[in-house]
Structure 1
């Protein structure tokens, strides 16, 4: 089943973000939380498993088999329809991971996740998407995600590494800033080029969020990631899922050593 996502595509090009409320059940989200907690505990036991994205804030990349709901996620009609409409029929799933802001996480600097691709700069065309799935009911004190709508097209030589605007630009982002409070079962999609940040977690709770990265034909974000599947898992997938899963098949999974570090996030911000 395909769904009408024309309004969502328009939102991606105007605001830089869109969402589907109640895409999954709360029980599905609770199972996701269990799997994320297990993967996070394992990743923190080895070098390069959990990468810092600021004080008390981590990112972990995982393999599809570590999430029981992986197929339901990537084969959800809204996800499939939005990927095809925004990126074309040959979109590729290249990343699966999660962010975990813990108690004491501070404001991140305003940033985008990678420099502006040439296709976007020249043609104002998006070439990748990031889907986010919360594992908790987000509250104000839990350090909600904050985004500055419409800033995906911002292009300035003042951006450090093409990703970090100088503090002299912050008033512009603060003036546009919108905080997001997703609940269990919700899913959002955004271009990772829209300027955003994680905010200060003043609660005693963590706020794990699953990240699904999808590339169009021109994008090369997959070069930063090491997603793999076992042959047995591959054989269990439908052809509809296989055609979009861009990763090697292996006899045995090796835990991912994260390659996509973002040095500018390590120290946090004000």
Structure 2
């Protein structure tokens, strides 16, 4: 990976960390070369084509929208991603030196995808809604240049600390709260090469894709020790891939080393995004 933008490989700053704590999301513009992202895009499309033809390979998250988990070695740039200084710096500062990489996949809304209900990706743990400490992060990389008609990601900064204990599944706030999230919200327009880090507890949703293009977004899930999300996933790597990874990646990768990769049957199905759960 070659550098074309000054500071693109710089570690996270104190301002980045403060923004992530305050808003629940922060971004680094131009962290990766466009050519690198284009290769990632090709790998994502190939993985989607493979996953959509087997049961449990691609999970629906609303009309014309799917989520697919992949094996790390299906993405040529996986090691570049997990060893990028901005990524590792965010993880170490927020989740601690023994953070665990537990998930790699992608969300792919196609033309005709609809507005999702406001949601978070799992219930809030006490460490977050009581102690204001984040125990997991999601890193997002768009593989295309996002435009307003492509159904951009919408997020309500600062909502990551709301308890939500009385919400359906503790993930879907009632419709009466939607105007508040709408007023707080930002539409994110990442371009190829940008990366963001967010708490998956920050209220968010995908919006309707009115364009003629798909908008794939790669998602890297990282936990603090004991957060427990590895149980929802099953990362696998082959021995040759494991041996090729630098120690910096291996020490954080919560994966089984296998002789032959097995098809991934996804365990983390956000049912409410398909069923439209919004009220109790």
TM-score where L is the length of structure 1: 0.97
Instruction: Give the drift of 1:2.
Output: 6.9
| Offset of residue 8 of structure 1 | 1.6
| Separation of aligned partners in 2, 1:267 and 1:54 | 8
Aligned partner of 2:166 in structure 1 is: 158
Q: What's the counterpart of residue 207 of structure 1?
A: 215
Determine the C-alpha separation between the residues in 1 that align with 2:204 and 2:245. 34
How far apart are 1:13 and its partner, in Å?
A: 1.2
Judge conservation of contact 2:172–2:277 (CA < 8 Å) in 1. Answer: no
Report if the CA contact (8 A) 2:141-2:196 is conserved: yes
**C-alpha deviation, 1:156, in angstroms:** 3.5
CA contact (8 A) 1:2 1:81 kept: no
The 5 A counterparts of 1:172-191 are: 172-191=180-199
- DSSP 3-state at the match of 2:134: coil
Equivalent pair of 2:146/2:191 in contact (CA under 8 Å): yes
Structure 2 residue aligned with 1:104? 112
Alpha carbons 2:168, 2:277 under 8 Å: kept = no
User: SS of the residue aligned with 2:105?
Assistant: strand
The residue that corresponds to 1:86 in the other structure is: 94
Distance in 2, Cα, partners of 1:54 & 1:35: 23
Aligned to 2:234: 226
User: Post-superposition shift, 1:227?
Assistant: 1.2
Could you say which residue in structure 2 is the equivalent of 1:41? Answer: 49
Q: Are the counterparts in 2 of residues 105 and 201 from structure 1 also a CA contact under 8 Å?
A: yes
Indicate if the aligned counterparts of 2:129 and 2:162 stay in contact, CA closer than 8 A: no
> In structure 2, how many angstroms separate the alpha carbons of the residues matched to 1:44 and 1:4?
36
Structure 1 partner of 2:74: 66
Q: Which 5+ residue runs of structure 2 have no aligned equivalent?
A: 1-8
Is contact 1:106-1:268 (8 Å) kept? no
In the alignment, is the contact (CA less than 8 A) between 1:108 and 1:269 conserved in 2?
no
Q: Which residue of 2 aligns with 1:142?
A: 150
Alignment of 1:98-137 (within 5 A): 98-137=106-145
The count of residues paired between Structure 1 and Structure 2 equals 270
Structure 2 CA distance for aligned equivalents of residues 31 and 113 of structure 1? 28
Q: Distance in 1 between matches of 2:88 and 2:165?
A: 35
> Is the 2:152–2:189 Cα contact (8 Å) retained in structure 1?
yes
C-alpha distance in 1, partners of 2:224/2:10? 19
> Whole-Å Cα distance in 1 between the matches of residues 138 and 52 of structure 2?
24
CA contact (8 A) 1:24 1:185 kept: yes
Deviations 1:152-192 (A, max 9, x none): 01124431111000001111101101000000010000000
Q: Which whole-Å CA distance do the structure 2 matches of 1:253 and 1:212 have between them?
A: 19
What's the TM-score, normalizing by structure 2? Answer: 0.94
| 2-structure distance, mates of 1:230, 1:264 | 34
Asked if the contact 2:124–2:164 (Cα under 8 Å) also holds between the matched residues in 1, the reply is no
- Structure 1 position 268, deviation (Å): 4.9
Give the match for residue 217 of structure 1: 225
Is the deviation greater in 259-268 or in 135-144?
259-268
